[in-house]
Structure 1
Amino acid sequence: MCRDHRRVATWVARNAALNAADTTSVSNGNTVIGLDQSTIESYAKVVLGESKRLPGLGDATCSICLAEYNVEEIVRCIPECRHCFHADCIDEWLKVRGTCPVCRNSPSASS
């Protein structure tokens, strides 16, 4: 895990308790705080090649840590909206927030 990713993971974990109201989303009338590990792991991970082309939507930087993607980094995309992020960044984000950081849609388990 690179330094930027560790910093984001620490920030997300530290602020989760402080921002509980902010991290709560409503899905089908149920209150959800983050996603369970099995749901997060159900989202495909991809190792970036030389082109650094993302398998889904996104630009040259991760919207969570704001670092550029590099060759051989692992990215994960949310199936419903197809937004992609560094796998470490989105995994930590989804543990405490139940929505995509870009579009705020509530993801669900991949089938």
Structure 2
Amino acid sequence: MRILSLSIVGASLICAIGVICFVYFKHRSIASRIAAGQRSATAAISLQPDMATTGLDESTIESYQKLVLGESRRLPGPNGECCSICLSDYNSKETVRCIPECRHCFHAECIDKWLHMNSSCPLCRNSPSPSHVHVMSTNP
């Protein structure tokens, strides 16, 4: 009977030690992954350059062709019947602005806002030639 009791207690003790070791090493593994993730996140943040507005300046935007649509609502270049930014149809007497290189046109108000924040065409993503670009920066 004593041998049976010692066997049960010994087996229980070995199982308890095994569970404790498993929990300890599992917790340690999770903690090391979290710490590694925090280190890589910190490294990623520190590697990012200072955020600067990469849009165009006002004089460059104003240098782009601006026209008032007539009754035909015909646009120059490869353009559809609606503004790709606001998705509204072009109407007669509306003012549109065209990007010189690709000749895509948009409502002047829509493309002006876009170009203040981005230096590329919203449709084809081509950037204007260097002679048209004056990049703004928020850094002194």
Greater C-alpha radius of gyration = 2
Q: 1:41 aligns with which of 62, 82, 88?
A: 62
Gaps of 5+ in 1: 1-20, 25-30
- Could you tell me which amino acid in structure 1 is paired with residue 70 of structure 2? G
Question: 1:19-66 CA distances to partner (integer Å, 9 max, x unpaired)?
Answer: xx9xx9xxxxxx870000000000010000000000222100000000
Matches within 5 A, 1:1-111: 33-108=54-129, 109=132
TM-align CA RMSD: 2.1
Pairs aligned (count)? 82
Q: Secondary structure at the match of 2:121?
A: coil
TM-score of the aligned structures, taking structure 1 as reference length: 0.68
Structure with the bigger percentage of helix: 2
- Could you tell me which amino acid in structure 1 is paired with residue 99 of structure 2? I
Q: Name the structure, 1 or 2, with higher relative contact order (CA <8 Å, separation 6+).
A: 1
| Partners of 1:62 and 1:79 in 2: CA distance | 17
Q: Is the 8 A contact 2:67 2:96 kept in 1?
A: yes
Structure with the bigger percentage of strand: 1
Q: Is the 8 A contact 2:97 2:111 kept in 1?
A: yes
Runs of 4+ deviating beyond 6 Å: none
| Partners of 2:119 and 2:65 in 1: CA distance | 17
Gaps of 5+ in 2: 1-47, 134-140
